[in-house]
Amino acid sequence: MADIETKLRAVAAVPLNEELCRLIEELEPRVEMIRDHSLMHPMRGPADWSGDPEHRRTPEQQAAFDAMVDSADALFGIPDVDPAALARTVAANPRLRWVMTTAAGGGAQVRSADLDRADLDRITFTTSAGVHGGPLAEFAVLGVLAGAKSLPRLLRDQQDRAWPERWEMRQVDEMTVLVVGLGGIGAECARRFHALGAQVWGTTRSGEPVEGVDRLVRLDELVHAVAQVDAIVVTLPGTEQTHHLIGADVFEAVRPGTILASVGRGTVIDEQALLPALDDGRIAFAALDVFESEPLAKESPLWSHPNVLVSPHTAALSSKEEERIARRFAENAARLLDGRPLRAVVDTVEFY
């Protein structure tokens, strides 16, 4: 077993309020949280880790901030959520051993820092993956239910004060839902859809069983699988391997009337291939919290499509998010100090 250590100097490299800094120290007393709230860009709302972009440090404040992050054994957050700032402090600080990103998809931020292999091997990078699972799974359930219950039709009829002939709505407990990606978010989606009585399928790389999943699907079986399901929930991170994984071949294979919900990263879905599938009814409804380019361009047809629900990447935002991430940091700090494996470690080859 690895040696057990007695102290970890951790620096809050993003805004983290005093109460949560103290919470980390209470949960893991071997952690010394170094912070200077006067050096942080002010948050504009919950979990606004990068802070107000209009805020500027004085040269003296920037020097003090850099010196603080350069003194760390571990960083809570990528400094200013800026990959260039991460690269700077990695080069300046040979003692840095661990960085936890505040984003579930923090692997992309680490990739953008363009660190060399020696630094990627020296430092362990972890993410907050799984912390956002519950809220995102709820949005996925909302999306599938909205499609199953013909929400756009209901809203149009209500606006027109129209009382049409009754029609049959779809029932989730009669549906098969395919969760594409069974990580922290996907596992929470599977648990909720299973609780609603759906038959749940899920894609997997490991082949390990996941609670609530009735059938595991290999990624190379994806096109075959989508032809047999009623709804697709996409939870995958954005990597080179997942880019446009849900593309023309998938949309050509789906059954007419399939419902789509996306809560992972927008680059996983080819939006240009999605649009004709929406137009001809292969995709009956799409609930999208993430997009290939954000903010979504004003000229995007997705804004006005009658069978699309646009959410501005806000489904995971919660006043409890900051506390959940602080608790994750404390838990992983204990694991690091005890020589145990950390949770949500970034793969520094594929960066997810």
DSSP string, 21-45: HHHHHHH-TTEEEE--GGGSPPPSS
Helix (H) or strand (E) holding 83: helix 83-92
What residue type is assigned to position 196 of the chain?
A: L
CB atoms within 10 A of CB 5: 12
Q: Exposed, middle or buried: residue 263 (CB in 10 Å: 0-12, 13-18, 19+)?
A: buried
Q: Exposed, middle or buried: residue 345 (CB in 10 Å: 0-12, 13-18, 19+)?
A: middle
What residue type is assigned to position 59 of the chain?
A: P
Q: What is the per-residue burial (b if ≥16 Cβ within 10 Å, else e) of 302-327?
A: beebebbbebebebbeeeebbebbbb
List residues bridging with 124 in a β-sheet.
98
Peptide bond into 152 cis (omega under 30): no
The residue to which tokens 């047809």 are assigned: 301
CB atoms within 10 A of CB 187: 21
> Annotated catalytic residue: which of 5, 221, 294, 350?
294
Cβ 91 vs Cβ 309: under 8 Å: no
Residue 294 annotated in active site: yes
- SS3 label, residue 214: coil
Cβ 76 vs Cβ 12: under 8 Å: yes
Residue 37 annotated in active site: no
Say how far apart CA 134 and CA 191 lie, in whole Å.
Answer: 10
> Annotated catalytic residue: which of 88, 313, 327, 335?
313
Active site residues: 265, 294, 313
